[in-house]
Amino acid sequence: MLEYFQTMNVRELIDGHQAVFSFEFFPPKTDEEAKALFGVIAELKTLDPSFISVTHTPSGIDPLKTAVLARAIKENYALEPMAHFTCIAHTRSEVREIAAQLRERGIFNVLALRGDIKPDARAPIKREYHYAADLVRELSAMGGFCIGVAGYPEKHPEAPSMEADIARLKEKVEAGASFIVTQLFFDNAYYFSFVEKCRAAGITVPIVPGIMPVTSHKQIKRFAEMCGSRIPDVMARDLEKIKDDTAAVVAYGVEHALAQCRELLKNGVPGIHFYTLNRSHSTMAVLRRLKQGG
């Protein structure tokens, strides 16, 4: 069991590899979903991911589910987890308790987020933390955590401008974040421009691009609206033509994501973070071909 407590620091993983590859999962709601998820993780493990990201509800309800899944991934699959940690629905004492739960489970890599403000959220908005930077500062003061934060190549939906958004991002880095993982995007130009603006603002930490292969026409439209990510006109037209052919949409999504990743890696990105939606087929297809050089 001692091996379980040996933690790999995500920033060190990023610094120590030519390019890291990571996957993001969310905690299952049922036993059936859990069985399916662990099957997905077992499949993806064969591609030797650098670390696994574990989400939880946007507001932070049931943070223990995130901690439990992160521990299971570490114990059962010997993969390094990174637990998402939101603060919008928690008091400072609750945040410290969640941090303690993560420590007890050997989880020291976290993605620090504010959390979404939704009128219909089940958890009350307590607002002891107004921004993710507040949480980063708190976790950094505790010591021992490797802290990542989110970046938005096309601007956070609530930010008044890209400049204001990058200023907030810089605050998070100065508060103690050591790497950035971006929101998904479908046009690499947004990522390259974002990185350029971040560097000009004095942000020097690694910025890992987030990629999600399209698997459903309806779903991708919903995700794009929710995340503030634009679907390129050509891509939108192509998907409109094949929207009723699931296999064709999946194949298109793989090719588009593969093209994105090839260009990103060619330009020296620190790695690729895949949003899987708890599925393996498309992500495995993309990553396998990348590793085979195809």
**Gap between the Cα atoms of 59 and 222, Å rounded:** 19
Structure tokens belonging to residue 291: 């590793």
> 127 near 92, Cβ under 8 Å?
no
151 torsion bin: left (phi>0), alpha (psi -120 to 50), beta (else): beta
| Strand 179-184 to 51-54 pairing | unpaired
Burial class (CB in 10 A: 0-12, 13-18, 19+), 278: middle
**Gap between the Cα atoms of 177 and 140, Å rounded:** 8
**Helix, strand, or coil (residue 136):** helix
**Gap between the Cα atoms of 131 and 53, Å rounded:** 21
Q: Which of 139, 290, 154 is nearest to 210 (CA)?
A: 154
154 is catalytic: no
Distance of CA 53 to the CA centre of its chain: 6
The one catalytic residue in 3, 12, 24, 104 is: 24
**Helix, strand, or coil (residue 63):** helix
| Strand 51-54 to 20-25 pairing | parallel
- Type and span of the H or E element at 92: helix 92-104
**Helix, strand, or coil (residue 209):** strand
Residues forming the active site = 24
